[in-house]
């Protein structure tokens, strides 16, 4: 099956610093990638939809200036958490949909656990 990687798998940072998380589709091209956040014992909440070559679409309540998304190529999307604070500590998961007409499935990355001290 299609593989999506995320880097780093975990990161600990000080409050006020910025953290970049990469999401790569390894064996397929993805015009659309998604970023989710998952708090402990809760479900995945969609943060934004990342489209290659255009601005990301953010869900209501998600600060686009705080969570910067760049989808620079058909295989790479990055999420930058700017000026991170402890409340940003969470599990961040990306997913990607292959550029195949009619394809339904999203393939998920393994997630990145962010801890802000």
Partner 1 sequence: AQKITQTQPGMFVQEKEAVTLDCTYDTSDPSYGLFWYKQPSSGEMIFLIYQGSYDQQNATEGRYSLNFQKARKSANLVISASQLGDSAMYFCAMREEGQGFSFIFGKGTRLLVKP
Which residues contact partner 1 (rule: CB under 8 A)?
1, 32, 34, 38, 42-46, 49, 91, 93, 95, 97, 104-108, 110-111, 113
- C-beta of 14 vs 40, nearer to partner 1: 40
Helix (H, G, I), strand (E, B) or coil at 48: strand
Q: How far is the CB of 9 from partner 1 (least distance, A)?
A: 9
Distance (Å, whole) CA 27 – CA 8? 19
- C-beta of 15 vs 39, nearer to partner 1: 39
Distance (Å, whole) CA 116 – CA 19? 10
Q: Hey, what are 9's tokens?
A: 């798998």
Q: How far is CA 106 from CA 12, 86, 98, in A?
A: 28, 29, 8
- C-beta of 16 vs 55, nearer to partner 1: 55
Q: How far is the CB of 113 from partner 1 (least distance, A)?
A: 7
Q: How far is the CB of 116 from partner 1 (least distance, A)?
A: 18
- Structure letter (DSSP) for residue 78: E
Nearest to 27 by CA among 52, 53, 4: 4
Q: How far is the CB of 48 from partner 1 (least distance, A)?
A: 10
- C-beta of 1 vs 53, nearer to partner 1: 1
């Amino acid at each position: 099956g299609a593989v999506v990687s995320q880097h780093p798998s975990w990161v600990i940072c000080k409050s006020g610093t910025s953290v970049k998380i990469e999401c790569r589709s390894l064996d397929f091209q993805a015009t659309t990638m998604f970023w989710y956040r998952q708090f402990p014992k809760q479900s995945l909440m969609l943060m934004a939809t990342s489209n290659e070559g255009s601005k990301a679409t953010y869900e209501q309540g998600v600060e686009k200036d705080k969570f910067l998304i760049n989808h620079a190529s058909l295989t790479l999307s990055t999420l930058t958490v700017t000026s991170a604070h402890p409340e940003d500590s969470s599990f961040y998961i990306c997913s990607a949909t292959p550029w195949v007409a009619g394809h339904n499935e999203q393939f998920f990355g393994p997630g990145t656990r962010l801890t802000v001290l």
